Structure 1
Amino acid sequence: MRDDRVLLILIVGFVALQIARPARVGELFARIDQHTILTLAGLLMLTRAIDQSRFLDWLAQRLLRAFRTERRLALLMVAFAAALSTLLTNDVALFAVVPLAQSLARIAPVRIERLIIFLALAVNAGSSLTPLGNPQNLFLWQHSGMGFGAYVVMMTPLTLALMAVLLVMCAIAFDSRALHFARRGPTHSVRWALLWTALALFVAFVMMADHGYAGWACAGVAAVLLVARRNAVLGIDWLLLAIFVLMFVVLRGVAEMPQVRATLGQVDFSGAGVAYVGAAVLSQFISNVPAAILLAEYSHNWPALAHGVAVGGFGLAVGSLANLIALRMAKSSKIWWHFHWVSIPFYGIALCLGFIALKWM
């Protein structure tokens, strides 16, 4: 815990918030999005089980044989992550692609930190396309009354522009050097029974979580994996769960402060420009999901809010919960700084692209 700066910052923030505006235990628990926490816990168990099946090492070898240069491999991974995030949400997509990227790095000299940074940006960009891509899209889509197809059409120009820029940046960041096996990973030692069990649980888990049964789904996954592979349950990243719990408690506590609400109440968010900039900027401080929920009380300009929170996922790591998941999975302290060297300039470009996309509507 002493080495986890994000956790320490959140603990300090929690203490400061409790001193400034004390809240009861029931109020603190009410701020926690239990569905998100239980979904995250289930995904952590499932991805750990898949990783322990050794299938990802097996798949990584075949990808390296098919895409022998680092640039081609990085472009494939970024495009795949973005496409996956349009259907399975950005955090679920990360739990699929980041462990695969780490398997690639175990057997070939892939610059793993750089690749994880681009994967985090890719799932944020790709997930902006559909209502299923991320929680803030789902929230805004349900409240806007728009059809599924209409929402996708509305977000297509921005998503395509973001992906075009991201792929160009990715091509520049990775060179065309050939990749050679640093060592041979397992070829015939895949634990197929564990893999198929985890995949079957994964499908059932996603379906149940999408229908609001995350608690039962998480309990079922834990029960099966405690029998099949106990370490897949006991060995997950518990600090990541603690970080997300504290994020909900602290960030929603800040959003509920009378001073914050009074300040927002003085701003006219009915105009597209103000709503867009407000969503993009506020996301940098309280994350894009709480920003969408909070600003929906002050503006019904759904296109502007949707574009704003999509852009707000870039920039600071706290802008999107997916960023925090990816950076935590990297298990490197330096990646936090490297991420912002790429993400903040991309945020500036995305902010301009969002303005242009709104004007074309």
Structure 2
Amino acid sequence: MAPGQIATYPSLVDWPTMAALTGLLLLTKGVENSGALHRLGRWAIARVNTQRSAALCLVLAAAALSTLLTNDVALFVVVPLTLGVCRIARLPATRLVVFEALAVNAGSALTPIGNPQNLFLWQLSGSSFGHFVAHMLPLVAVLMVLLLALTVASFPARPMHVDLQENEQPLDRTLLGVSLALYVPFLLLTDLHQAPWALAALTLIFLMVRRRVLLQIDWGLLLVFILMFVDLRLLAGQSLVHGWMGRLDLVQPQHLFWAGVGVSQIISNVPAAIALAEYSHDWRVIAYGVNIGGFGVMVGSLANLIALRMVGDRRAWLSFHAYSLPFLGIASIVGYALLHG
């Protein structure tokens, strides 16, 4: 690429999407650092008495948190709690974390803010928050029913005892209150396509209240997304790539759907969404394809890699693929039927 083209790179980035993602990371980091989610998780786990009920509780918690806190943040909350519980109770840690990875991929598909690919497609589509959720609800409902049934079949109703008395994390009520109070206004402004102004206001407030939260955001992750926009849009502009993608006939919804599933297995679902958006504006089909594409191989979703890295088991990838690959097959059939049935 000619050096003179570097000046055009910023125009390749979808800055409203980046502003919305940065604001969500800031708010979720505030909630996470407050200690509230840690306390809530411990409270829930203390009230279950079998492996099956514990697994169902953790899977549901991971899925629910991912709808509002993004799939990655949900894992950062649930997985450490899970590993802590497994240290003091006889629970299969690796299998639990695998199911939590599946849960955040399924749950995060529901909302525009559940994962980065949805956030990008939401900003691209100009659709309202409610309209996006209504479109994704049938898919997520079926996926969650299937996942919960698989959870029941995979974890026995064996009694367990958990002692959660040690290491209670202090609660920062001010940080929690500010983060929760700003959440809905930020979403409303983002829904009105004012994400950059909303981010500016958030930044000023956190500078005054808890500036350390700004330093703890995963700025490296944001840089990765910026580079994704630049690299993939430059790549999409190449005549060879354009010709190859043209032969896929992505104007056909069924071709676009399977491309979303398949490309996600190669380059992950966030880059897949960005790449396919260069060739089609049918965000509804792309959203189904790339969210389903988060299942399957590890690279299908960044959340998969995060979960398997956190569990610390070198053989975790075997367990993950034993569940995730069949789930990809079933989810693909379900998604295709819902779109084209």
1:193 aligns with 2:174: yes
Q: Which runs of 5+ in 2 are unaligned?
A: none
Give the 3 Å change call, closer, same or farther, for CA 257–334 of structure 1 in structure 2: farther
Q: What is the letter of the counterpart of residue 337 of structure 1?
A: W
**2:236 is aligned with 1:255:** yes
Match of residue 5 from structure 1: none
Q: Conserved in 1, the CA contact under 8 Å of 2:17 and 2:123?
A: no
Q: Indicate if the aligned counterparts of 1:60 and 1:104 stay in contact, CA closer than 8 A.
A: no
1:207 is matched with 188
Distance in 2 (CA, whole Å) between partners of 1:190 and 1:130 is 28
Cα distance, 1:63 vs structure 2: 0.8
Q: Which residue number corresponds to residue 228 of structure 1?
A: 209
Aligned to 1:313, the other structure's residue is in SS state coil
Q: Percent of aligned positions with the same letter in both sequences? A: 38
Question: For 2:80, which of 102, 111, 119 is the aligned residue?
Answer: 102
- What is the aligned partner in structure 1 of residue 70 from structure 2? 92
| Counterpart Cα distance in 1 of 2:149 and 2:25 | 31
How far, CA to CA, are the matches of 2:16 and 2:284 in structure 1? 26
Tell me what 1:28 maps to.
9
Determine if contact 2:75/2:307 at 8 Å carries over to the other structure.
no
Please give the alpha-carbon distance, in whole angstroms, between the structure 1 residues aligned to 2:20 and 2:113: 15
Per-residue deviation at 1:228?
3.0
Residue deviations 1:115-159 (CA, integer Å, cap 9, x gap):
45433432432344567762366378658x9x949x84x755543
Question: Do 1:116 and 1:327's aligned partners in 2 also have CA atoms closer than 8 Å?
Answer: yes
When the two chains are superposed, the root-mean-square deviation of aligned CA atoms in Å is: 4.0
Distance across 1 between alignment mates of 2:47 and 2:28:
24
Partners in 1 of 2:20 and 2:123 — Cα distance?
17
The answer to whether structure 1 residue 284 and structure 2 residue 265 are counterparts is: yes
1:262 positional shift? 0.5
Post-superposition CA distance 1:233-271 (Å, at most 9, x none): 223333322332333333333333221110122233454
Question: Which SS does the other structure have where 1:24 is aligned?
Answer: helix
Distance 2:84 2:93 in 1: 9
Asked whether the 8 Å contact 1:61–1:104 carries over to 2, the reply is no
Q: Distance in 1 between matches of 2:222 and 2:300?
A: 18
Q: Deviations over 1:336-356 (max 9, x none)?
A: 836555433322232233344
1:14 aligns with: none
Is residue 17–residue 119 contact of structure 2 (8 Å, CA) maintained in 1?
no
CA distance in structure 1 between the aligned counterparts of 2:332 and 2:276, rounded to whole angstroms? 18
CA distance in 2, matches of 1:291, 1:161: 23
Residues 248, 352 of structure 1: alpha-carbon distance in 2 compared, 3 angstrom cutoff: same
Distance (whole Å) between structure 2 residues aligned to residue 318 and residue 105 of structure 1: 23
Question: What aligned pairs does 1:1-361 form with structure 2 within 5 A after superposition?
Answer: 24-83=5-64, 88=68, 92=70, 94-96=72-74, 98-103=76-81, 105-106=83-84, 109=87, 114-129=95-110, 134-135=118-119, 138=122, 148=131, 152=134, 158-177=139-158, 178-181=160-163, 183-186=165-168, 189-288=170-269, 291-292=272-273, 295=276, 305-320=286-301, 323=304, 326-327=306-307, 330=310, 334=314, 337=317, 339-340=320-321, 342-358=323-339, 361=341
Change over 3 Å in CA distance of 1:212–1:119 after alignment to 2: farther
TM-score when normalising by structure 1? 0.72
Distance 1:176 1:239, change over 3 A: farther
**Residue range with higher mean Cα deviation, 41-50 or 301-310:** 301-310
Q: What TM-score comes out, normalization by structure 2 length?
A: 0.75
The answer as to whether partners of 1:61 and 1:185 remain within 8 angstroms in 2 is no
